[in-house]
Amino acid sequence: MNDIVAVIGAGTMGSGIAQCLAQAGYQVEVVEPDRSAAERARRGLGEAVRLALLLGRGDRRTATGIGGRVRWVERIDELSAVGFVIECATERTTLKERLFGELDRHCPDDAVLASCTSAIPIARLAAATERPDRVLGLHFMNPAPLTTAVEVVRGEQTAPQTLKQATDLIAALGKEAIVVGDRPGFVLNRVLMLSIAEAAATLDTGTDAATVDALFEQCLGHRMGPLRTADLIGLDNVADTIEVLRRETGASHYHVPPALAALVDAGHFGRKTGRGFHDYR
C-alpha cells in the first residue's frame, strides 16, 4: 500500500481524521465539494497546528510539514493513486453507496475503501463495489485527534489482509483498534442512539437538559451525559443515524423524538452551530 490516504468529506469527522493522518506523516488528499466546508476545514487544521506549537508540541518545521502534506480537491476523479480511503461524507445511505461505486471505479484495485459511517451496514457499502473484500468500517469518534480508540467494523467479506492494513493504520495514528461485527449501528451506536433518543424524550416531562445530563455525569460518573454527547456529535447527524437504524432494523424503538426533531428543524445542531440541547454561545 502506498502512503497516500484519501479522506472523503471535510466536516466534523473528515477534518479531524485528516489532521490525525497528516500529523502521523501520511500524505492526505481531502475531497470536499462544498468550498466553504473545505475552507473551514483548512482553517481548522492551521489553528490546530498553531495550538500544538503554542503548547510546545512539535517545532515550526513539523507544523509547516503537516499543512503541506494535505492536498484539497473537490472531486473523486481528482485523486491520485491512493492506497487507502476513509469516507466521511454525510450519513445518507444513497450518497455513500454512490460514493463507494465511484471510489471503486477510480481508485487502484488494491486500495482499501473504509467508511466512517455511524450506522450503515458495511455489507451495503461493499455491495456498491467490485472489491467487497477490501471494504470495512472505521468508526472514529469525535474529536478524532483526541480520542484513543476506533471501532473497526469487519464486514462478512472483509479479507484478513484488509483488516490488518486498517489496524496497522490505526496503530500508526497512535490509537487502538477495537474490532466488531457488521450490524446496523455496530455496537456503539446501536446502544448510544437509543440512549440519546430516550434522554431527549424525557424532556417532555418538564425536566431540562442540564438535569438529564447531571444525572448521568454526577450519579453514574459518565464524563458526558447523553444530551451533551448528542450536541458534540451534531444533532443533524444523530437524527440521520437514528433514521438509518430504524430503516435497517425495522425496530420501532429507533425513532427521532419530537424534542430532537424540533432542534434539527430549527438549525440548532449542537456545538457546531452554538446551540443544541445546551447553549454554547
With CB under 6 A as the rule, give the number of residues binding ligand NAD.
29
Q: Per-residue x/- marks for ligand NAD, 31-70, CB under 6 A?
A: xxxx--x---------------------------------
90 part of the interface to ligand NAD, by CB under 6 A? yes
Would you tell me how many other CB atoms lie within 10 Å of the CB of residue 172? 14
From the candidates 139, 222, 255, 278, which is the catalytic residue? 139
11 part of the interface to ligand NAD, by CB under 6 A? yes
| Shortest distance (Å) from residue 71 CB to ligand NAD | 15
Longest dimension (CA), the chain: 56
Q: CA-CA distance, 257 to 212, in Å (whole number)?
A: 15
**Of 145, 138, 142, whose CA–CA distance to 174 is shortest?**
145
| Shortest distance (Å) from residue 145 CB to ligand NAD | 13
Terminal Cα distance for the chain, rounded = 45
Long-range contacts of 135-138 (CB under 8 A, 24+ apart): 135/100, 135/162, 136/112, 136/162, 136/163, 136/166, 137/182, 137/186, 138/86, 138/114, 138/166, 138/170
Q: Which of residues 258-277 bind ligand NAD (CB under 6 A)?
A: none
Point out which span in 51-59, 86-94, 125-133, 211-219 binds ligand NAD (CB under 6 A): 86-94
Alpha-carbon distances of 171 from 8, 12, 67, 122, rounded to whole Å? 21, 22, 22, 21
Q: Using CB under 6 A, pick the residue from 4, 6, 7, 9 that binds ligand NAD.
A: 9
The verdict on whether 106 is a catalytic residue reads: no
| Shortest distance (Å) from residue 120 CB to ligand NAD | 7
Cell (9 digits) for 19: 489532521
Q: Using CB under 6 A, pick the residue from 137, 241, 246, 260 that binds ligand NAD.
A: 241
113 part of the interface to ligand NAD, by CB under 6 A? no
CB 147 within 8 A of CB 140: yes
Q: Using CB under 6 A, pick the residue from 18, 88, 122, 125 that binds ligand NAD.
A: 88
Q: What is the DSSP pairing of strand 84-87 with strand 4-8?
A: parallel
Q: Using CB under 6 A, pick the residue from 23, 93, 117, 158 that binds ligand NAD.
A: 117
229 part of the interface to ligand NAD, by CB under 6 A? no
Q: Is 128 strand, coil or helix? A: coil
Q: CA-CA distance, 211 to 43, in Å (whole number)?
A: 35
Q: Which of residues 192-221 bind ligand NAD (CB under 6 A)?
A: none
Catalytic residue numbers, as ranges: 139
The footprint of ligand NAD (CB under 6 A) covers 8-14, 31-34, 37, 88-91, 95, 99, 116-118, 139-142, 233-234, 237, 241
